């Protein structure tokens, strides 16, 4: 079966839309209503076989095409030489339409961080970020163009939601990066994509159905997917509690990252407006359910904002609440606030960071400061805005 960026999402996102208080500045409906073209990566196995049959091709071509895309990372039918020349153009138009065109690449960190600005065929802009480390290569991908969560310290959230991405638009960000690494088209020479994080543009769990479908295609072995380990995939959320619980029941073993940013509801109502719907206690309860169901440690993301959420008493409260809710199955990632245009906020001083880490650890919760990448090219957390 195929999906579309413009169809209604399933119950998790529907619950969000229906139950959010009207005063909340959140946008879940797409601004654009154009129908993205069908792509092989939108289809499940039965859907692909049906599509191949519609093209008048024998059934075995479905497996062949899937192996080209997922196994060989190839989306250009002119290079699929085991496909009859007479049908390559037709197959390309029907199952491999151009989804994302790279507009520009920007690099920093001695070339180890590369941000790509993509344009979808309807003109939608989005970004992904590839980061190379000595022992791994991590791709930060977008699940939406823009974001409707309206967090005031995030450039993506301040820009609002443009539309959901299709499953294929999500998966193709990964396929393209994996192909570039394999072919040595990224600084550092040939390599292999090892990790994928849904921490780019958008709230992944507000595009629930397509994100879960994309995760399965990213992690299934060829010819059904790209073959990455589920444990190498991280899905982030600002705290859509029902969707977290739903994800826990999917039978996946991906890492859940919760963007908490403060342990108290009073401040979080402002920093993460969806907290007006699901409180800190509800979010941590859902995270506990995820940890119980999957056996995976939950990651807590915490942007350190000078004199806003970096007080010692908040560190103590954070550690106590996390230890009570999750015990040892939690890790806190402190993220120095990345500057965004026009923001009145700044990152916490290093000595404040260190004291915050010490106090969280003192409560029995592991805590580290995340290595910040990509600030010079607006590729760091909270900076993606897809400006051309």
**Ranges in the chain, pLDDT < 50:** 6-8, 10-33, 379
Q: Which ranges of 84-133 would DSSP assign to H, the alpha helix?
A: 85-95
pLDDT of residue 386: 58
Q: Answer yes or no: are the C-beta atoms of 299 and 331 closer than 8 Å.
A: yes
Cβ-contact 334, 304 below 8 angstroms: yes
Distance between CA atoms of residues 157 and 155, nearest Å: 6
**pTM of whole model > 0.95?**
no
pLDDT at position 277, please?
A: 98
How open is the CA angle 152-376-120, to the nearest 5 degrees? 70
Q: What is the pLDDT of residue 388?
A: 65
Full strand arrangement of the beta sheet holding 195-198 = 100-108, 113-120, 125-133, 136-140, 195-198, 233-237, 255-259, 298-304, 330-336, 366-369
Q: Which of 286, 268, 284 is nearest to 276 (CA)?
A: 268
pLDDT above 70 as % of the chain: 87
- Catalytic status, residue 74: no
Annotated active-site residue in 54, 127, 266, 367: 127
- Answer yes or no: are the C-beta atoms of 288 and 325 closer than 8 Å: yes
381 is catalytic: yes
Residue 214 CA to residue 167 CA, distance in Å, equals 5
Please report the pLDDT score of residue 344 as a whole number.
Answer: 85
Structural domains of the chain ordered from first start: 40-96 (1.10.150.530), 100-377 (3.20.20.70)
Give the whole-angstrom CA distance, residue 161 versus residue 201. 9
Give residue-wise pLDDT tens across range 329-372.
999 999 999 877 777 889 999 999 999 999 999 999 999 998 87
Cis ω for the linkage preceding 261 (within 30 of 0): no
Q: How many CA atoms lie within 13 A of 82 on its CB side?
A: 11
Residue 159: per-residue pLDDT: 86
Helix ranges, 1-84 (H): 11-19, 45-54, 60-66
User: Could you tell me which residues are annotated as the binding site for S-adenosyl-L-methionine?
Assistant: 202-203, 236, 259-261, 338
pLDDT in tens, 173-228: 999 999 999 999 999 999 999 999 999 999 999 999 999 999 999 999 999 999 99
């Amino acid at each position: 079966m195929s999906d579309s960026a413009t169809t209604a999402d399933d119950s998790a996102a529907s619950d969000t839309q229906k139950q959010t208080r009207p005063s909340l500045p959140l946008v879940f409906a797409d601004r654009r209503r154009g129908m993205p073209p069908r792509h092989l990566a939108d289809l499940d196995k039965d859907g692909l076989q049906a599509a191949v049959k519609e093209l008048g091709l024998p059934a075995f071509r479905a497996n062949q095409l899937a192996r080209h895309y997922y196994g060989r990372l190839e989306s250009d039918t002119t290079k699929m030489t085991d496909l009859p020349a007479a049908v390559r153009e037709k197959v390309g138009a029907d199952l491999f339409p151009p989804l994302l065109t790279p507009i520009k690449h920007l690099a920093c960190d001695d070339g180890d961080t590369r941000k790509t600005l993509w344009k979808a065929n309807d003109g939608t802009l989005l970004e992904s970020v590839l980061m190379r480390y000595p022992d791994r290569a991590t791709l930060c991908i977008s699940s939406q163009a823009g974001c409707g969560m309206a967090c005031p310290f995030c450039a993506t959230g301040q820009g609002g939601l443009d539309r959901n991405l299709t499953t294929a638009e999500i998966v193709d960000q990964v396929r393209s990066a994996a192909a570039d690494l394999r072919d040595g088209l990224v600084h550092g020479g040939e390599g292999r994509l090892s990790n994928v994080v849904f921490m780019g543009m958008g709230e992944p769990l507000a595009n629930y159905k397509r994100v879960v479908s994309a995760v399965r295609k990213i992690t299934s072995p060829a010819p059904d997917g790209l073959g990455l380990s589920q444990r190498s995939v991280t899905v982030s959320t600002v705290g859509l509690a029902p969707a977290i619980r739903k994800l826990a029941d999917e039978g996946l073993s991906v890492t859940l990252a919760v963007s908490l940013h403060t342990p108290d509801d009073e401040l979080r109502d402002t920093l993460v407006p969806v907290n007006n719907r699901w409180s800190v206690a509800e979010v941590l309860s859902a995270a506990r359910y995820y940890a119980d169901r999957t056996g995976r440690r939950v990651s807590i993301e915490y942007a350190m904002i000078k004199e806003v959420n970096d007080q010692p008493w908040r560190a103590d409260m954070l550690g106590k609440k996390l230890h009570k809710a999750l015990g040892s199955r939690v890790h806190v990632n402190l993220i120095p606030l990345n500057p965004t245009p026009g923001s009145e906020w700044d990152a916490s001083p290093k000595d404040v960071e260190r004291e915050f880490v010490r106090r969280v650890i003192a409560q029995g919760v592991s805590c580290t400061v995340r290595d910040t990448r990509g600030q010079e090219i607006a590729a760091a957390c909270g900076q993606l805005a897809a400006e051309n």
